[in-house]
């Protein structure tokens, strides 16, 4: 016996118009169809239909987490500050953290994620290697004071996350737990009906697969990723690498100095010489742990400081200031060229390969040099991928021109290692009786965000369009209006319910058939069964919400079909 929900009793008020401030499909449609209401910026109320969809997503997540041996727990959202101070995140999170005080003046926070508390739980509960490995998870409300809470339930300040944590005594164990989660996530997103890509979340230099993101391509997404139209390569923009292709350094003309007054920028230089910016070599000066370093990239490309920082971490990267040039006659601001930088470490993008020839600064005011050849006139100390990726860049796997696409981050898996175990001295007794430091993974899925991502990917011009697995009902039975139609609709709805089919039946009196049909499309249940014109003969019309296909069926046929 499944639930039969009657629209005449259900708290659902649909709207004809989009909310004024809504920019994204999920915000517009979830509000218009009566699934959610905004309580405050980034804070949402889930109404009955919305709660059903949310719970269906949560159920799929739960089933797949249980299937890999995850044990569900529920930690508090209101947390003492001390564990987050110990890990450094009380400070690191900055404005993202909701902080509050209790009546005694003690500091608390609303949990943005729970690594610290899970580590403490395991320290309290597990003492021997025999207690491990263990996978714990929860589906719980998280709080982050996001700068731009927008896009409906896609980015909330209060939102629901499934967060899981694995605890192992060895690196192999962690790798295994990571693989288990990766597989579970693939099954979850497939069952939910989300189109997704798995991309490495860290730059190539850090290598490996310690961290991957699950991205759902959608124009409303806030992440940009690269997607190869020719092969299955997909990556975070920070992770794209460019192959170094050295060529011969011979046969180039000699270096020639040029008089280039007032050309301290690539634009002024390219215009003055009448060459494309790509023919010039841009040398950005930065300080790495206080030491001046030059970074060379083609003049038409931008340096991605985030990428550079990641490559050089834990060293600190800062931009140079005017003071840094004092007492450095070798550094002529605006006219730096690598051929004169003997005392400065030179980092370059692989596009600046041995054998390439450039127009670059001559290390004298208002002077540039041409035919400056990499490997002949200057050497590169380190090659690092540091340019901002652009559409059309070659795919590292197959060479085809890459596309840049928008996507929603729906999941993130991460091999944390011993960072939190070190902070909280999480050890267990090993086989040999000696303490072993535990290694951890953390694995998140945005459960409320997944609802938004589904809408962004599946809605059409008529409204929401759910897959069977997440829909708030299996069938939406519409009684066109007359008494005989309502009678038939309620009868069929009752029989479907008895057969285990989840039914929403529109038995509202005084609502026109047109409004009921529009609402059914907007609400987005996969099958719409109409008791209309031929109700007296016991004939119904079944419409597929997604394809729009219709067919007429008898009551018995409809019940057989829909309960199959």
Contact between 175 and 133 under an 8 Å Cβ cutoff? The reply is no
Distance of CA 457 to the CA centre of its chain: 14
User: Considering the complex, what minimum distance in angstroms separates the CB of residue 445 from ligand ATP?
Assistant: 6
Which residues lie across from 425 on neighbouring strands?
A: none
Q: 221 vs 396, which CB is nearer to ligand ATP?
A: 221
End-to-end CA distance of the chain: 14
User: Considering the complex, what minimum distance in angstroms separates the CB of residue 156 from ligand ATP?
Assistant: 4
Q: Is 137 in the site for ligand ATP (CB under 6 A)?
A: no
Q: 28 vs 412, which CB is nearer to Mg ion?
A: 412
Of 195, 159, 189, the closest CA to residue 448 belongs to: 159
**Per-residue interface string for the shown chain with Mg ion, residues 410-439, x marking contact by CB under 5 A:** --x---------------------------
HEC assignment per residue over 416-484: EECHHHHHCCCEEECCCCCEEECEEEEEEEEHHHHHHHHHHHHCECCECCCCCCCCCCCEEEEECCCHH
Q: Is 35 in the site for ligand ATP (CB under 6 A)?
A: no
Span interacting with ligand ATP, options 82-90, 117-125, 405-413, 415-423, rule CB under 6 A: 405-413
When CB distances to ligand ATP are compared, the closest residue is 446
User: Considering the complex, what minimum distance in angstroms separates the CB of residue 160 from ligand ATP?
Assistant: 8
Q: Is the dihedral of CA 453, 183, 188, 65 positive or negative?
A: negative
Contact between 340 and 367 under an 8 Å Cβ cutoff? The reply is no
Contacted entry of Mg ion, ligand ATP, none for residue 197, CB cut-off 5 to 8 Å set by kind:
none
Q: Is 412 in the site for ligand ATP (CB under 6 A)?
A: yes
User: Considering the complex, what minimum distance in angstroms separates the CB of residue 159 from ligand ATP?
Assistant: 4
Q: Applying CB under 6 A, which of residues 361, 446, 497, 524 lies at the interface with ligand ATP?
A: 446
Q: 182 vs 333, which CB is nearer to Mg ion?
A: 182
Tokens coding 386: 């540091």
Contacted entry of ligand ATP, Mg ion, none for residue 545, CB cut-off 5 to 8 Å set by kind:
none
Q: 376 vs 412, which CB is nearer to Mg ion?
A: 412
Q: Applying CB under 6 A, which of residues 155, 351, 370, 476 lies at the interface with ligand ATP?
A: 155
Contacted entry of Mg ion, ligand ATP, none for residue 83, CB cut-off 5 to 8 Å set by kind:
none
Of 344, 312, 339, 311, the closest CA to residue 325 belongs to: 344
Q: State phi, psi for 190 to the nearest 5 degrees.
A: -65, -45
Given 3-state DSSP classes, what are the helix, strand and coil percentages for the chain, each rounded to the nearest 5?
30, 30, 40
**Per-residue interface string for the shown chain with ligand ATP, residues 161-180, x marking contact by CB under 6 A:** x-------------------
Q: Is the dihedral of CA 205, 208, 211, 217 positive or negative?
A: positive
Residue whose entry in the numeric block shows the structure tokens 């049909």? 517
Tokens coding 475: 């069938």
Contacting residues toward ligand ATP, per CB under 6 A: 113, 144, 146, 155-156, 159, 161, 409-412, 444, 446, 448-449
């Amino acid at each position: 016996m499944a639930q039969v929900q009657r629209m005449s009793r259900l708290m659902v008020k649909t709207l004809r118009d989009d909310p004024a401030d809504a920019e994204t499909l999920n915000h517009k449609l979830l509000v218009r169809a009566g699934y959610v209401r905004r309580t405050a910026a980034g804070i949402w109320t889930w109404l009955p239909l919305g709660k059903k969809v949310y719970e269906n997503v949560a159920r799929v997540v739960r089933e797949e987490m249980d299937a890999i041996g995850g044990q569900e727990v529920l930690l508090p959202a209101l947390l003492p500050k001390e564990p987050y101070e110990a890990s450094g995140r009380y400070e690191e999170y900055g404005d993202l953290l909701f902080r509050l005080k209790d009546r005694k003046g003690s500091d608390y926070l609303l949990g943005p994620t729970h690594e610290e508390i899970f580590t403490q739980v395991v320290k309290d509960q597990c003492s021997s290697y025999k207690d491990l490995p263990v996978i714990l998870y929860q589906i719980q409300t998280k709080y982050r004071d996001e700068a731009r809470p927008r896009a409906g339930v896609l980015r909330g300040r209060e939102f629901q996350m499934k967060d899981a944590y694995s605890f192992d005594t060895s690196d192999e164990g962690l790798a295994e737990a990571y693989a288990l989660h990766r597989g579970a996530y693939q099954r979850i997103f497939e069952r939910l009906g989300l189109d997704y890509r798995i991309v490495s979340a860290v730059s190539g230099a850090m290598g490996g697969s310690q961290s991957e993101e699950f991205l759902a391509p959608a124009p409303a997404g806030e992440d940009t990723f690269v997607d190869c139209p020719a092969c299955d390569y997909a990556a975070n923009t920070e992770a794209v690498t460019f192959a170094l292709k050295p060529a011969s350094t011979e046969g180039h003309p000699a270096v020639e100095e040029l008089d280039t007054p007032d050309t301290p920028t690539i634009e002024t230089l390219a215009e003055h010489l009448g060459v494309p910016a790509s023919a010039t070599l841009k040398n950005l000066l930065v300080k790495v742990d206080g030491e001046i370093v030059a970074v060379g990239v083609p003049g038409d490309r931008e340096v991605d400081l985030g990428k550079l920082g990641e490559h050089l971490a834990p060293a600190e990267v800062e931009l140079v200031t005017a003071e840094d040039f004092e007492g450095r006659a070798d550094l002529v601001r605006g006219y730096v060229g690598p051929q004169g930088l003997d005392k400065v470490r030179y980092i370059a993008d692989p596009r600046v390969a041995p054998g390439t020839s450039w127009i670059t600064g001559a290390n004298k005011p208002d002077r540039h040099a041409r035919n400056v050849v990499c490997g002949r006139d200057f050497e590169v100390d380190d090659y690092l991928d540091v340019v901002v990726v652009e559409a059309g860049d070659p795919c590292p796997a197959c060479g085809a021109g890459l596309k840049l696409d928008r996507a929603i981050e729906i999941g993130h898996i991460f091999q944390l290692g011993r960072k939190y175990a070190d902070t909280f001295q999480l050890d267990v007794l090993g086989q040999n009786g000696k303490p072993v430091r535990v290694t951890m993974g953390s694995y998140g899925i945005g459960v409320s965000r997944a609802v938004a991502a589904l809408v962004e990917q599946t809605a059409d011009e008529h409204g929401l369009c759910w897959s069977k697995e997440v829909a708030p009902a299996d069938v939406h039975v519409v009684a066109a209006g007359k008494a005989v139609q309502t009678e038939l609709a309620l009868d069929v709805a009752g029989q479907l319910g008895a057969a285990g089919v989840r039914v929403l039946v529109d038995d509202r009196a005084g609502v026109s058939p047109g409004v009921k049909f529009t609402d059914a499309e907007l609400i987005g249940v996969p099958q719409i069964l109409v008791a209309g014109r031929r109700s007296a003969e016991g004939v119904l019309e079944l419409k597929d919400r997604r394809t729009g296909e219709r067919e007429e069926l008898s009551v018995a046929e409809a019940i057989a079909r829909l309960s199959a």
